[in-house]
Structure 1
Amino acid sequence: MKYEVPSRITSFRTEFRLKPAALAIHVLFAGAVMLSALPADTYAAEPLPAAKAATRNFAVPAGPLSGAIARFSAQSGTYVSVNGALTDGKQSPGVQGNLSVPEAITRLLAGSGLEAILQPDGSYVLRVAAMADATLPAVTVTSDVGSASDLPKPFAGGQVAKGSRVGILGNVDIFDTPFSTQSYTEEFVQDQQSRRVADIISVDPSIRSAMAEYGDSETYIIRGFPVFVNQVGVNGLYGMTESRRITPEFYERVDVLKGPAAMLNGISPFGVVGGNINLTSKRADDKPLTRVTGSYVSDSQFGVHLDLGRRFGEDNVWGVRLNVLKRDGDTPIDRQDDHMKNAALALDYRGKKLKASLDVANQDRLTNGYSANITYDSGFALPRPPQVDKNYVDDWEYIKTNAKYLMAHVEYEFSPTFTAYANYGKSRGNEEYYYGGTQGRKFINSAGDFTARAGGFKGSYEVDTYELGMRGKFMLGDVSNNYALSYSDFSRTGYGLTVHATPQYTGNVYNVPNRPRPVVNYGTIPQNGDLQLSSVGLVNTFGFMNDNVLLTVGLRRQELFSGVFTGGIRTKNYDESKVTPAAALLVKLGSYSLYTNYSEGLAQGATAPAGSSNVGTILAPSVTKQMEGGVKYNAGTFGVTAAVFQITQPNAFTNSNGVFGADGEQRNRGLELSTFGQPLRGVRLLGGITLIDAVQSKTLNGANNGKDAIGVPKVNVVLNGEYDLESLQGVTLTGRINAFSGAQANATNTQSIPGWHTLDVGARYVTQVAGKAVTFRGNVINLANKNYWNSVSRGFITLGAPRTVLLSASIDF
């Protein structure tokens, strides 16, 4: 059983000392290369001592057989040797209670068609069960992913899946995908005790969180470019997430596709440059589920989460999944508390030809004393970070949000070679800030002095979106063809008003007394946004040489209409359209997949952030371009990937006069090395290293040509590990290293933040209590409680997370 720890990052010196991180990465990839050269039975580890007849307490839940075997081995202390091809696609009913090892493994394999053969050394070897007669059954060969709409199975170790959603192509095996993709499983989310999506995807060294955990929103930096919460898709639809923070407990997969993907995913609100994130709603499994999780977050935040799943009817065609979450209390930061009440209901029907689903959710959240970003003037070195557990905002500064969504999906398989589908989504949300400088705290010197102005913001939004599409396949001679055609439409209307309640005042970030709360009167809230997007995309994957060579080509016509408002009156429109292409080639050579791709995307221009003098201003739409090449290695129990990429887009930043605008182009070139899976028995690794060279070009009069782009560390290292203790059955130790070099804070490269690194540790224990499977989890984020600036982006800097203790206990009734 594996166990994942959430991650945060802490302060480093101005000089980024990479030696420990470099050593870890060299060991990681050198070991991976050596392991890949050995036969599977070599790196599977030596056999354990003979299995004993004494009984043991087993708590292995039902699920994929490969994962169940790993848990059984850890809990029994017995080595089990198996060819991964025998377990692919098979489920286990699990095993519970005090049993002998032979009894337990027999129950574990029930219905799988496999049997366990005891070896002289006490280990077991799995093989196909002997038949009653000599007649062999028909053999059916299936993909690890199945159809384009089927949820891919977990990869070895259970932290990631064997495939992910690749836009209109549907779900595709990771080693058949000519793009850089990853899909994180529900089990990984649970074991990590994730409170936000950033906790999940930041295990990838190419992805960072640009915002504080208890800040006003989530923002993700992918390959050096920002992706905002309202750019995250849910079941393929944009605009369904809560506009500020996402509840990860509602979803069973978190898919990431790195690089612009407008051709595959359609144009997203506010544009997507560095990558695409899609969330897949939880669905009821055949095995009934009633799971209750109690949680604690330091200093005194307690929560409870109910996850209920049932299937009904003949062949279990009807399903219902209910998730209810409540969390309240003080955070690890002084003068700060957080409260949430969230619920999601998912209904689905899975017939032989027809599949349909309906998702509804409501999310309420209130954070008092929320962690605010700080802007800065020019002409001085940025101040050192304050203590990460001290608050420089007032306890009456809050952000309050409410969001609701409804999504419906239906698809029909007219034949094994043709399927049509339709998606519809509608969401509404309200948000309110009450701030004492969040929209205007600005550093004015290196001593930490700032200016600010108290006030508030109140707004709302409404989204309507739908998608119609079809997928099919046919043979043309010896060439296979897998095609997809889709049309999508998106409409978002926004309202909002900022009101200042006090004159400008001064303060110091290292000593901020609680100020009196001002009165804010909003009056009528005017319209401040109108966004209309539509696109039609066509893509085909040609398969040559028995699908060992896959060529994907596609086009998407995108149309974008965006209104610019001043005082509730539309003062300007952007009306753009463009045909964006994408092409990709993948060649499979045994266990290796070599690929290359080129893609373009039309995106709405960036929006001036809080703290800029033209806050809310929308820049003109722009086109982004990416070239990428890479190799993926599938060792069966672990994978290794390497990729090189280049992405270009207009360079947008807040200048020394406080004005947010575009100047020239930002070009990010990078190298990614990563690994995932279970390279050794009881050992799971996830992470790697990313090197990025982000520079400015084509700037006005060439003034900043060749200088580093703002906010992009050159070296990014994340390595997450888990180890199952053989001496203590059911116990797993976890840890994560995060290390990033410094980043420039202005276009002229005269201001910067230092590099930083942190260590997270944790453990979990799987056992039985009163005959019920129970999992205890404990994690410590930022173990050393380092002070650090987490990121710099779009003209502001964000403070890192303090030492945070996470405890939870889950029981399956």
Structure 2
Amino acid sequence: MQKPLVAGRPFFTRGPRRTPSLLSAGLLVSVGMTLSTLSQSGWAQAAASDAGATLPAVSVSASKDAAVAQADTVSAGALGSRKQVDTPFSTHVVTSDEAQDLFATTANDLYKYDPAVSVTSDNAISENSMFTVRGMPIDTLNSVKIDGQTFPSWDADLSLEPFEQVELLKGLSGFMYGFGAPGGIVNYVLKRPTDTPYRSFTFGYKSAGVFTEALDLGGRFGNDNRFGYRLNLANEDGNTAEDNGHVRRQSASLAFDFRITPDLTFTADALYQKRKTNGTLFGLMFGSGLGIPDASTVTHALTQPQNYYQTEFASFGTGLDYRLSDNWHASVKYRFAKENRTNSDSLLYVSDNAGNYSNTLYAAMTRYFYQNVDAMVEGKFSTGSIRHDVVMGASFETQTSEYSNSTGWNQGYFLGNGNLYGSTLLSNADVSIGEDLYRQQRTTQAALFASDTLQFTSRWSALAGVRYTQYREHVYDPTQAVTSQYSANPVSPTFALMFKTDPYSTLYASYVQSLQQGGAASNTDVNYPATFGPLRSKQYEIGFKSDHSKWGANLALFRVDQGYYYSNPAHVFVQDGTQRYTGIDASGWLAVTGEWRVLGGVMWLDTKAVGIDDPTIEGKRIYGAPRFTVTGRVEYNPAYLRPLTLAFGGKYVGNQAVDAANSQFVPAYTTFDLSGRYETKIAGKDVTFRAGINNIFNRRYWTTAWGYYVAPSATRTAVASATLQF
């Protein structure tokens, strides 16, 4: 029986359901050029290698003139650090320079031109910026990392200033990182001390009146420059373009290292951030049988003065890295992280096609405490003609969640009624933040892992990896009684076969298994607070990746089978059957001339629920997953004015199901962006000016997530910045 609504409001507790047409010519040309590489000099070098020679080292690094080119290396967890082109997985790395050219403030901005990425919410108007990868959400409590170690990031959009690059691993990550949703891993790599002095200051602006100041300092000191430092400070404050919108953010990070000997290095880092955004909206829930209106017709004044969210977190990490020999090195690292989260934002329940809604505000605190310890040994050796690149290690991780047991968290505060097509000022004097926290959940993971990349010839290689995990999860009620507990001891294997078509390209086939935390019912479900055990996922992928000086391409054909959890039409939260994702993820770039560069990508995705007992769900599309996504971007760097680079880009995202039964859909949308960069010298110092407009045609659209709610998009935004190196 469905739980009744109170005064037109859904009985609702917000919380993450755990693990809860522009086709660029560059894509077509770059993929078409794949076969032509067989006649290039690189092919001759590879053929010589089969006769006993060694492949030449290849290093292709990103530059400001190739702002969207992939960075050379990627951290792959238990695989260590590898060149992207040599890994049998889909990856996308964005450097800090590229992030500035994209005017990125969150990971949503970093991957706006990746066709596999679709936005589910934007922190300009929603709680925080989130996205799906190939239709699968990123798990904000398990799949966000700092230097490869898990970091709590529910509502916590990490400031980008402290990070050298951000790495996206698409798909399953069981062997590399342990438990996690199959959407992928987002790994933030901290900026580390520079060998030569580095100093820069950036001043930025975003409409309607947000100003940012950022300082970045690095260098070395002491005898033989044994000590290194990297300091980043950032401040952001001002009124946003959204109704009732205001943001205030401060972040600070310090990274330190000590070269104890030429072979032994000690590192330590600290990171702190506090961010508060006013004028936020959790989302809108449309009643059964209702259509979802055109987002452009809905008022922008949906938020209320009492709506805001605030996050504060701190992290400390330390480690030792020891080079045992030219071919072997060992490392150990530890990280502690804590997040305090305060939310006071609303869910709007739309009750009829006239757009009438009830506004329920949820106000509470939550806290998260994480600890990670990782030890790893990497080495290379040969057995006869076969070369081995091995990694062995162990890890231990704990996560503790504290939730509020207050009215503001469990039932919320009724603010009043309004209409989607007109502004209404609503408030409730009884609203207060619930601070009566209790330990709601604790999980531990202890793991052993090992892998071997076997190099049979200069072209053929194979990867075999395995991770054994002891997983323990306890869920508590406010009295600290255990309401559910789960334990699992999975063995997660990974296998891959790789073939070098030329020294700069890899054809691969891979298989990955992974385990993730199960789902949990919310108070919109009649079986709240039911929780479920871990889910197993499997991924099959065949791909090709190439990274040349003037063109690059990435192509992946994949299938992911994942256990399915959802709310059925009777509002019962269910964990049953399989959600299957099958698709093609392709992208490429091409330097057409010395002045013009084009980039593009396309994702086609077929999703369906299989093995479901409920006929209203069986065979339906998976919610929140577009069938088709296309991106394109053109960059122009005129020969007569090399300091100037102009760029125009766009993205098309297909329609998406809002719920598991596919009774509601949000329509497709297309957005466009325009930007420019100019590099010069002032008083002998390097200065870079940037300016742009995001969503230049002010397209208003809906995003959707978690199988029941939608959120409006951000408005058109003007951005500008100036960076001085001194």
TM-score, normalised with respect to structure 2: 0.89
**Does 2:147 correspond to 1:239?**
no
**Does 2:201 correspond to 1:292?**
yes
In 1, Cα distance between equivalents of 2:611 and 2:39:
55
For structure 1, the residue ranges without an aligned partner over 5 or more in a row are 1-19, 43-82, 85-138, 146-151
Equivalent residues in 2 for 1:175-186, closer than 5 Å = 175-186=85-96
Match of 2:444 in 1: 532
Deviations 1:700-746 (A, max 9, x none): 14443222111111101122332112233311101211101111122
% identical equivalent positions = 26
1:507 CA drift (Å): 2.1
Aligned partner (choices 333, 348, 353) of residue 446 of structure 1? 353
Equivalent residues in 2 for 1:792-807, closer than 5 Å = 792-807=705-720
Aligned partner (choices 133, 144, 147) of residue 222 of structure 1? 133
Equivalent residues in 2 for 1:157-168, closer than 5 Å = 157=66, 159=68, 160-168=70-78
**Does 2:662 correspond to 1:664?**
no
Higher alpha-carbon Rg? 1
In 1, Cα distance between equivalents of 2:486 and 2:662:
32
In 1, Cα distance between equivalents of 2:298 and 2:648:
21
1:434 CA drift (Å): 1.8
Deviations 1:747-792 (A, max 9, x none): 2222111000011101111111122111111111110001111334
Contact 2:140 2:152 in 1 (8 A): no
**Does 2:433 correspond to 1:545?**
no
In 2, Cα distance between equivalents of 1:733 and 1:388:
34
Equivalent residues in 2 for 1:535-684, closer than 5 Å = 535-546=447-458, 548-569=459-480, 570-590=482-502, 591-608=504-521, 618-676=531-589, 678-684=591-597
Aligned partner (choices 303, 321, 333) of residue 411 of structure 1? 321
Question: Residue 620 of structure 2: SS of its match in structure 1?
Answer: coil
Judged with a 3 Å threshold, the aligned counterparts in structure 2 of structure 1 residues 387 and 640 are, in CA distance, closer, same or farther, namely: same
Contact 1:388 1:802 in 2 (8 A): no
Contact 2:26 2:590 in 1 (8 A): no
Root-mean-square deviation (CA), in Å?
A: 2.7
Match of 1:108 in 2: none
1:313 CA drift (Å): 3.7
Contact 2:122 2:130 in 1 (8 A): no
Match of 1:485 in 2: 392
Match of 1:462 in 2: 369
Match of 1:516 in 2: 427
In 2, Cα distance between equivalents of 1:39 and 1:479:
26
Match of 1:277 in 2: 186
Question: Residue 680 of structure 1: SS of its match in structure 2?
Answer: coil
Judged with a 3 Å threshold, the aligned counterparts in structure 2 of structure 1 residues 388 and 760 are, in CA distance, closer, same or farther, namely: farther
Deviations 1:36-82 (A, max 9, x none): 6779999xxxxxxxxxxxxxxxxxxxxxxxxxxxxxxxxxxxxxxxx
Contact 2:76 2:82 in 1 (8 A): yes
Contact 1:370 1:397 in 2 (8 A): yes
Question: Residue 383 of structure 1: SS of its match in structure 2?
Answer: coil
Match of 1:29 in 2: 27
Judged with a 3 Å threshold, the aligned counterparts in structure 2 of structure 1 residues 635 and 731 are, in CA distance, closer, same or farther, namely: same
Equivalent residues in 2 for 1:380-395, closer than 5 Å = 380-386=290-296, 390-395=300-305
In 1, Cα distance between equivalents of 2:140 and 2:216:
24
Deviations 1:194-218 (A, max 9, x none): 1111210232110122112322123
In 2, Cα distance between equivalents of 1:727 and 1:652:
57
Deviations 1:386-418 (A, max 9, x none): 568823010221101110000112110111122
Judged with a 3 Å threshold, the aligned counterparts in structure 2 of structure 1 residues 734 and 632 are, in CA distance, closer, same or farther, namely: same
Aligned partner (choices 613, 630, 653) of residue 717 of structure 1? 630
Contact 2:568 2:617 in 1 (8 A): no
In 1, Cα distance between equivalents of 2:37 and 2:173:
37
Deviations 1:647-674 (A, max 9, x none): 0111222333444432321100010111
Contact 2:522 2:529 in 1 (8 A): yes
Deviations 1:9-43 (A, max 9, x none): xxxxxxxxxxx42xx34x3333225656779999x
In 1, Cα distance between equivalents of 2:693 and 2:479:
47
Match of 2:253 in 1: 344
1:553 CA drift (Å): 0.5
Question: Residue 489 of structure 2: SS of its match in structure 1?
Answer: strand
Deviations 1:545-573 (A, max 9, x none): 13x21100111112222222222422111
Match of 2:4 in 1: none
For structure 2, the residue ranges without an aligned partner over 5 or more in a row are 1-20, 43-52
Judged with a 3 Å threshold, the aligned counterparts in structure 2 of structure 1 residues 412 and 653 are, in CA distance, closer, same or farther, namely: same
Amino acid at match of 1:487: A
In 2, Cα distance between equivalents of 1:553 and 1:320:
38
Match of 1:210 in 2: 120
Amino acid at match of 2:205: Y
In 2, Cα distance between equivalents of 1:187 and 1:244:
22
Match of 1:355 in 2: 265
In 2, Cα distance between equivalents of 1:717 and 1:624:
27
Judged with a 3 Å threshold, the aligned counterparts in structure 2 of structure 1 residues 703 and 434 are, in CA distance, closer, same or farther, namely: closer
1:235 CA drift (Å): 0.7
**Does 2:178 correspond to 1:266?**
yes
Aligned residues: 685
Deviations 1:168-225 (A, max 9, x none): 2212112211111122111101211211112102321101221123221232201111
Contact 2:580 2:607 in 1 (8 A): yes
Amino acid at match of 1:347: F
Match of 1:306 in 2: 215
1:284 CA drift (Å): 2.4
Match of 1:402 in 2: 312
Contact 2:283 2:710 in 1 (8 A): yes
1:380 CA drift (Å): 2.0
Equivalent residues in 2 for 1:367-386, closer than 5 Å = 367-386=277-296
In 1, Cα distance between equivalents of 2:203 and 2:566:
43
**Does 2:236 correspond to 1:327?**
yes
Match of 1:420 in 2: 330
Question: Residue 205 of structure 1: SS of its match in structure 2?
Answer: coil
